[in-house]
Structure 1
Amino acid sequence: MAVPHPSSSSSRSHPFLSHVYHTSFHHYHHHNHPSLVLFWCLVFSLLSPLALSSSSSSSSSSSDSSSSSSSHISLGIGETEGTKHDLHQAILRDEAVARLHELGQVSDAATHLERTFMSPASIRAIPLIRGWMEDAGLSTWVDYMGNVHGRVEPKNGSSQALLIGSHMDTVIDAGKYDGSLGIISAISALKVLKIDGRLGELKRPVEVIAFSDEEGVRFQSTFLGSAALAGIMPVSRLEVTDKSGISVQDALKENSIDITDENLMQLKYDPASVWGYVEVHIEQGPVLEWVGYPLGVVKGIAGQTRLKVTVKGSQGHAGTVPMSMRQDPMTGAAELIVLLESVCKNPKDYLSCNVQCNEDTVESLANSLVCTVGEISTWPSASNVIPGQVRQRNYSLLCTYVFSLLVL
């Protein structure tokens, strides 16, 4: 669902999710930040003692849940400063935006934002994020995969924990909201509870996690940080190397993190100890802006497939080999790229159903499949040489972000 502008109203319910909850955020109107205000209302409501006191809602109490959640979502909207539900906009908006800009300056490049897994900028970001977590009253630590954790334990420490977070690594030439928004927003909401003296009243532990790797830029292996905590990262992935021949394990050791096969396995969270997971993320797409909503709740998360394709041909001199005798892998790769583009734009024209699919599957692909060739390289890569081979990296998403755009 999406949160409308403050002037809108509706009777649609807003159930709090007790499992994985992923919200996408569209930022616009740089000076006023209306989306930030609405978004922090949502996160703040999830952290309130009432919201955290119940891990599930029965169908018999759905009307009460609707009424309660609506009141939480409206925290601070239309209310005057100093009231019971004051949003502390100096923290939830002004300080949070300042921190987004500050973290956006922590980069390995001078002209753009670039902060990859265990890079110098990533290491500089760790104490910055830990400092913000401690400022919000959280106990902090860095695990064997470089993930940064901040946790608050309530009086009843045996309760399942609510996890909130996002990734602190970036792509090359990244946006400053990507990943950082989900980390800083959670810290800001908890800081408000601390200032109000309500941090100790939470009915369950709350843990903020800044994941060390999500983008997979350096090692071409996505979700290193979260996969380790989920217990699904194979030990063999520690030996994957970057373009300089440095392995994941070596990169961690260079930064005084001595990871082994044994302590990698220790990072896995017991599912029984986790109540739910919340992540707020910039949409990075045009959908929310197009429909005019500042927020949307994601119903489907992208499933990624990354392929490295090598097209081989016959290397030769560009000025002397006749066109009729060429086997140019560059032109072959170009044809493949155009074909891939056509398949993803019009999958119905290329796919047929067998026993493993039906028309609904093809229809779903037509509405959600995207494909991109984001990297291409040739050998020997000279203007007067017909290349001998071309490598391209395909990035395909099946089931891209799907929004349920319901007016509250």
Structure 2
Amino acid sequence: MPWESTVAPDIKNLDMSDYAQQVFSRCDALALHSQSYEGMDRRYLTPEHSMANLQVAQWMASAGMETWVDQAGNQWGRYAAPDPDAKSFVMGSHIDTVPNGGIYDGILGIILPISLVQYLYDNDIKLPFHLEIVAFGDEEGTRFGTTLLGSRAITGLWQQQWSGLIDAQGVTIEDALKNFGCDINRVNEASRLKDKILGFLETHIEQGPVLEAEHIPVGTVSGIAGAKRFTLKILGEAGHAGTVPMNMRTDALVAAAEMIQAIEEVASELGVVATVGKITNYPNAVNVIPGEVQFTLDIRSEIDSRRDTVIEILQQVLGQVSEKRKVTLEWKMTHSAKAVACDAKLQHLVSNSINAAGYRQISLPSGAGHDAMALADICPVAMLFVRCEKGISHHPAESVLVEDIEAALKVLVNFVVFYQQQLD
């Protein structure tokens, strides 16, 4: 039976504890499909990915869903509307992980909506739209070094040059797809561009500490930060650590240290996040003045123009440091992704769904990239964040509370009710 368009269930008092425990247990079960026993490690198009897809498909089927795997290796399920010609609303996230990762990053956003559908199925509740769930095969990019392969295929933006991607063991992506039961020459069939999807909602652990600090289980995401990454090379002059006077040195590492401090100061002052995550020092010997240093710079903002303004300022500031230190500084951009604003109407529905479930609502940006960034090219997108302990992610210590899972389930139930109402 469909819900009455003007009546929503009493979500505040709805007992979703059994479904929440189901989600909790299933995340544990899916963690068994890992290439490593020391932290999660499930990469795109591996046997572990295949087994995880199969397990997810079984859970989808038990919730009354049709299932299939597309030609990019993404696992799909559809809770069909009574009208076969109805359009689809999609929920989901990614099933791959980083090496030594956790069991909730991405995975929670797949298992939660499956249990939402299980609740609908158990109570014979039909929707006026197909509710589809997708487990994207590659978001992290840990196998082939290119992120969002799964969701880019969905948007019809699979790039021809990706055919040449090779993993660390020398396996081509073409062969990996073939071994997975897919065909790289048919990846375009994964595209949903012509389907006119109604929208996409991705539930994800926050991967940050804000919700925990605010003592609330869930939050609305305002947008996903755009990121640019650079490799900076500093060329000084190597020399003997004991014979070159301090005032006559051209120490590349000292110059790098000053630059890194300047990056922190400028980013903090101008409201972006900037991270120097990797440093390589040459010749890296105890008795040699460093002659060359390379370090990475990752800089992000929800507003692309602000991020780019800060980059211009940093280029000036670091240039001044290089002149003062008499070193040569070279910049090389290695990654660029534009910021994505979540759809205003969907954000409003998510916020109302949180309030109606009895929780205080806050809105926060995502500093991490997500599959929703790709889906924004073909449909409105929104995100729901779930609190995670200490904001830890990409680490075996990743942890969520079962009561926060129940909170998220209540929000998702509200969301499909409110979404149905706005379609009427």
Structure-1-length-normalised TM-score: 0.66
- 1:388–1:120 Cα change, 3 Å: farther
Task: Say if 2:31 is the partner of 1:128.
Answer: no
Note the 1:6-405 alignment, pairs <5 A. 49-50=2-3, 68=7, 71-72=8-9, 74-75=10-11, 77-78=12-13, 87=16, 89-90=17-18, 92-198=19-125, 201-244=126-169, 246-260=171-185, 263-270=186-193, 272-314=195-237, 327-347=250-270, 366=271, 369-378=272-281, 389-399=292-302
Following TM superposition, by how much is the alpha carbon of 1:97 offset from its aligned partner in structure 2, in angstroms? 0.6
Conserved? CA contact 1:169–1:213, under 8 Å: yes
- Distance in 2, matches of 1:296 and 1:251, equals 38
- 1:213–1:395 Cα change, 3 Å: farther
Amino acid at match of 2:49: S
- 1:197–1:237 Cα change, 3 Å: same
- Distance in 2, matches of 1:143 and 1:384, equals 57
In structure 1, the residue corresponding to 2:13 is in which secondary structure?
coil
- 1:346–1:241 Cα change, 3 Å: farther
Following TM superposition, by how much is the alpha carbon of 1:180 offset from its aligned partner in structure 2, in angstroms? 0.9
Following TM superposition, by how much is the alpha carbon of 1:282 offset from its aligned partner in structure 2, in angstroms? 0.8
- Distance in 2, matches of 1:329 and 1:244, equals 35
Conserved? CA contact 2:71–2:189, under 8 Å: no
Following TM superposition, by how much is the alpha carbon of 1:228 offset from its aligned partner in structure 2, in angstroms? 1.4
Per mean C-alpha deviation after superposition, the further-off stretch among 273-282 and 129-138 is: 129-138
- Distance in 1, matches of 2:257 and 2:175, equals 37
- 1:341–1:248 Cα change, 3 Å: farther
- 1:126–1:346 Cα change, 3 Å: same
- CA displacement, residues 301-352 of structure 1 (integer Å, 9 cap, x when unaligned): 22222333344455667677776665554444333332222221112xxxxx
In structure 2, the residue corresponding to 1:281 is in which secondary structure?
strand
In structure 2, the residue corresponding to 1:151 is in which secondary structure?
strand
Conserved? CA contact 1:235–1:264, under 8 Å: no
Give the gaps of 5 or more residues in structure 2: 304-340, 357-424
- CA displacement, residues 149-184 of structure 1 (integer Å, 9 cap, x when unaligned): 112333311111011101111233323221111100
Conserved? CA contact 2:39–2:102, under 8 Å: no
Amino acid at match of 1:238: S
- Distance in 1, matches of 2:287 and 2:171, equals 33
Amino acid at match of 1:121: E
Amino acid at match of 1:234: Q
- Distance in 2, matches of 1:249 and 1:321, equals 55
- Distance in 2, matches of 1:391 and 1:264, equals 38
Amino acid at match of 2:99: I
Q: Calculate percent identity across the aligned residue pairs.
A: 36
- Distance in 1, matches of 2:139 and 2:289, equals 37
Conserved? CA contact 1:152–1:207, under 8 Å: yes
Amino acid at match of 1:229: I
- 1:138–1:232 Cα change, 3 Å: same
Structure-2 residue corresponding to 1:23:
none
Conserved? CA contact 2:156–2:193, under 8 Å: no
- Distance in 1, matches of 2:288 and 2:46, equals 35
